[in-house]
Chains A and B, each alone.
Chain A
Amino acid sequence: MRQLAARLFDPLLDGLADVGRTGWFFLGMLIALPRGLTYPRELFRQIWFVGAKSLIIIMISGLFVGMVLSLQLYYTLSIFGGTSALGTVIALSLYRELGPVVTALLFAGRAGTAITAEVGLMRATDQLSAMEMMAVDPMAFVASPRFLAGLIAMPLLVAVFNLMGLFGGHLVGVSWLGIDNGTFWSNMTSNVSVWKDVVNGEWKALAFGALVSLIAVYQGYSAPPTSEGVANATTRTVVSSSIAILALDFVLTAFLM
């Protein structure tokens, strides 16, 4: 009985302990953040690495998500004779939900795993210890710039994703399915609110950027210095980030509605 209880509760307690450790790590990183800003070269390098290098996958995914949305929604709206609202529904879906959430999931898979693997290997090959020995705080030089880069890059990537999604939706809806171009844009611009829809989506992007970057850096930083340790940490980054993004999305949506 005791063994069964231990088997049930131990993973839960381990998970809670991990959340606690991530919190402490976050606190340490916040303290190191001002010193992290004294390494602008590293910050720009990281923005390039997590932002610019994620552009292709974000653009292609955005395009296809917009195209699929257009097809599915056209079919659904045509049942009710409301195909003129296609542009509005695509835009609202992208700005409010799909843009931030899908971009964050892609960001976790592309940039998050790369950050974890890189930081984990830096730990395994004593590069972090070498920095400590050169009187350079790795929290300021390694963790903070990567966290900040995620925070800066995510809202921009979401904006690009949304733009490509709208383009894809327009391509299918107007060029292929024959919706009127003027109706598509005018309905969209009159029903989409910049502050309620676009900006709220960007707040979500900011929160997801912080969350994914924190998880990725923490997992790399605390990875055991072995090949298996780094591999497991990379997997944990994707799993934890995905769950955390979806859970946080629900909370944020409830607050921002």
Chain B
Amino acid sequence: MPESTTNRSDPAVPMVQVRSLTTVLGGKVIFDSLDLEIARGSISAIMGPSGTGKTTLLKHITGQLHGDSGTVLVDGQDVARLGREDLFRLRERVGYLFQNSALLSDYDVFENVAFPLRAHTKLPEDLIRNIVLMKLQAVGLRGASRLMPSELSGGMARRVALARAIVFDPMLILYDEPFVGLDPIALNQVLKLIRTLNRELGITSVLVAHEFAAIREVADVVHLIAGGKRVASGTPSELARGDSPWTAQFFGGALEGPVPFQYPAPPLADDFGFEEQRA
């Protein structure tokens, strides 16, 4: 087994610390001196308008992307300064649930969950089988172990991806839009799983999502990001009160507010030629 189970971490240090992170992608400022902390053992939600960089933030946490300035510390380690080997060692202790599940399409459910075990350990086949079936049992899909990804519904694929993400009992799981496209039953199952993993195994969880009703059920803390900065943080109930213009607009769903409805564009008259018509 990799070092996932031997947690060298200092409990006093937050699991994730984002300090003055500035990122510019394709000429667009994604983060403008962003500061954020994720407490160890918490369930934290990252929310914000579409295109505000929530998934990009997860990519910074996992070292898939690096900012132009500032630091991202995971378990006390500066992700941008890690070499490839150290980064991979860190990733062995981090689970990532992709928005589209990202199951390996050539492998069945069992082999998908077994994939990290086969790649990083030399465990005997019997033990791999037991671990995989245990994880599949935890997500309610032990009976689907021989199905191919193409035979799964969206909710089932999400649960298989979750089983794969927890196969090494990681210290941190990042969920990218885990509730999209789920029916109410599957949604409740996923919510229950996130809670159980957090309470039973003490896994720190970070969720990127838009569904506030679901977030309210499960998250301890919500961070609202807009305009490249963290504009509000608090418990779901605190943010739902809408004390600031940002929270009032975002959680109230108002069209008008600090987040513009329209993407930046030239004046309407320029595009529709109003001046010429008048002339």
Contact = CB atoms under 8 A, between A and B. Distances in A.
A13 to B, nearest CB: 22
A41 B119 CA distance: 11
Interface stretch (A77-85, A121-129, A205-213, A214-222): A121-129
Nearest to A38: B119
Contact of A136 (B62, B94, B100, B116): B116
Contacts of A39: 119
Contacts of A135: 2, 88-89, 91-92, 116, 119-120
Interface string A111-134: 000000000011001110110111
Interface in B104-118: 104-105, 115-116, 118
A39 B107 CA distance: 15
Contact of A129 (B92, B98, B116): B98
B100 A133 contact: no
Nearest to A45: B106
Given A132-B64, A135-B88, A121 B100 contact: no
B102 interface: yes
Contact of B102 (A41, A127, A141): A127
Interface in A53-96: none
Contact of A125 (B62, B105, B116): B105
Interface string B138-175: 00000000000000000000000000100000000000
A112 to B, nearest CB: 18
Range class of the B interface residue count: 20 to 34
Contacts of A41: 118
Contacts of B116: 134-136
Contacts of B91: 132-135
Contacts of A127: 102-105
Contacts of B105: 121-122, 125, 127
A141 B98 contact: no
Contact of B100 (A125, A132, A137): A125
A122 B118 CA distance: 20
Contact of B119 (A121, A125, A134): A134
Given A127-B105, A133-B62, A135-B88, A141 B100 contact: no
Nearest to A118: B106
B179 interface: no
Interface string A132-149: 111111000100000000
Interface string B1-27: 010000000000000000000000000
A111 to B, nearest CB: 15
Given A135-B120, A136-B119, A141-B119, A130 B102 contact: yes
Nearest to A133: B96
Contact of B115 (A122, A125, A129, A134): A134
A130 B157 CA distance: 14
Contacts of B120: 135-136
Which of B98, B102, B115, B118 is most buried by chain A, counting CB atoms within 10 A of its CB?
A: B102
A137 B85 CA distance: 10
Nearest to A132: B64
Which of B94, B118, B119 is most buried by chain A, counting CB atoms within 10 A of its CB?
A: B119
Which of A121, A126, A132, A134 is most buried by chain B, counting CB atoms within 10 A of its CB?
A: A134
A224 to B, nearest CB: 15
B89 A130 contact: no
A118 B89 CA distance: 28
A126 to B, nearest CB: 4
Interface string A38-57: 01010000000000000000
Contacts of A126: 98-100, 102
Contacts of B64: 129, 132-133
Given A135-B88, A135-B91, A135-B92, A130 B119 contact: no
Interface in B57-112: 62, 64, 88-89, 91-92, 94, 96, 98-100, 102-105
Given A126-B100, A135-B88, 6 more contacts: A127-B104, A127-B105, A130-B102, A132-B64, A134-B164, A136-B120
Interface of A: 39, 41, 121-122, 125-127, 129-130, 132-137, 141
21 contacts: A121-B105, A122-B105, A125-B102, A126-B99, A126-B100, A127-B102, A129-B102, A130-B96, A130-B102, A130-B104, A132-B91, A133-B98, A134-B92, A134-B115, A134-B116, A135-B91, A135-B116, A136-B116, A136-B119, A136-B120, A137-B88
